[in-house]
Amino acid sequence: MKFTIQRDYFINQLNDTLKAISPRTTLPILTGIKIDATDNGLVLTGSDSEVSIEITIPAELNHEQIVMIQDKGSIVLPGRFFVDIIKKLPAADVTIDTNAQFQAKITSGQSEFNVSGLNPDQYPLLPQVSEDSVITLPVKVLKNMIRQTNFAVSTSETRPVLTGVNWVIQDNVLSCTATDSHRLALRRLPLENNTIENINVIIPGKALNELNKIISDEDESVDVFFASNQVLFKVGHVHFISRLLEGNYPDTSRLFPESYETSLTIDNHEFFHAIDRASLLAREGGNNVIKLSTASEHVELSSTSPEIGTVKEEVKTSKFEGQELKISFNSKYMMDALKAIDNSDVNVEFFGTMRPFILKPQDDDNVIQLILPIRTY
Structure confidence by residue, pLDDT tens digits, 231-253: 999 999 999 999 999 999 999 98
Q: Which neighbouring-strand residues pair with 138?
A: 221
CA–CA distance, 188 with 168 (Å, rounded to integer): 9
Topology adopted by domain 2-122: DNA Polymerase III; Chain A, domain 2 (3.10.150)
Segment holding 273, helix H or strand E: helix 268-284
Q: CA–CA distance from 208 to each of 146, 151, 165, 376 (Å)?
A: 7, 11, 9, 35
The mean per-residue pLDDT over the stretch 28-54 comes to 95
Please check whether residue 17 is in contact with residue 8, taking contact to mean a CB–CB distance below 8 angstroms. Answer: no
- pLDDT per position as a tens digit, 178-232: 999 999 999 999 998 777 888 999 999 999 999 999 998 887 899 999 988 999 9
Q: Do domains 2-122 and 134-253 have the same CATH topology?
A: yes
Nearest CA-CA partner of 242 in 178, 177, 163, 181? 163
Nearest CA-CA partner of 168 in 241, 256, 233, 250? 250
Please check whether residue 46 is in contact with residue 52, taking contact to mean a CB–CB distance below 8 angstroms. Answer: yes
Topology adopted by domain 256-371: Proliferating Cell Nuclear Antigen (3.70.10)
Instruction: Please report, rounded to a whole number, the percentage of residues in the chain having pLDDT higher than 70.
Output: 99
In this prediction, residue 29 carries a pLDDT of 94
CA–CA distance, 191 with 180 (Å, rounded to integer): 27
| Long-range residue pairs from 111-116, CB within 8 A, at least 24 positions apart, any chain | 113/85, 115/77, 115/78, 115/81, 115/82, 115/85
Topology adopted by domain 134-253: DNA Polymerase III; Chain A, domain 2 (3.10.150)
Burial-class residue 110 by CB neighbours within 10 Å (0-12, 13-18, 19+): exposed
Domain ranges, ordered by start, for the chain: 2-122, 134-253, 256-371
User: CA angle, corner 142, sides to 140 and 147, nearest 5?
Assistant: 95
CB atoms within 10 A of CB 27: 13
Q: Which neighbouring-strand residues pair with 371?
A: 183, 357
- pLDDT per position as a tens digit, 279-318: 998 876 667 899 999 998 999 999 988 888 999 999 999 9
In this prediction, residue 277 carries a pLDDT of 95
Q: Which neighbouring-strand residues pair with 77?
A: 33
The mean per-residue pLDDT over the stretch 111-119 comes to 97
Whether the pLDDT of residue 377 is over 60: the answer is no
Place 103 in a pLDDT band, splitting at 50, 70 and 90: very high
Please check whether residue 182 is in contact with residue 159, taking contact to mean a CB–CB distance below 8 angstroms. Answer: no
Nearest CA-CA partner of 218 in 137, 138, 135, 136? 138
The mean predicted confidence, pLDDT, of the chain is: 93
CA–CA distance, 138 with 220 (Å, rounded to integer): 6
Whether the pLDDT of residue 34 is over 60: the answer is yes
Calculate the CA 111 to chain-centre distance: 38
- pLDDT per position as a tens digit, 330-365: 999 999 999 999 999 999 999 999 999 999 999 899
Looking at this protein, which amino acid is placed at residue 70? Q
More confident site: 134 or 262: 262
Burial-class residue 53 by CB neighbours within 10 Å (0-12, 13-18, 19+): buried
Strands 32-38 and 60-61: unpaired
Tell me the torsion sign for CA atoms 288, 321, 183, 144.
negative
Angle between helices 331-339 and 268-284 (to 10 degrees): 150
CA–CA distance, 75 with 102 (Å, rounded to integer): 7
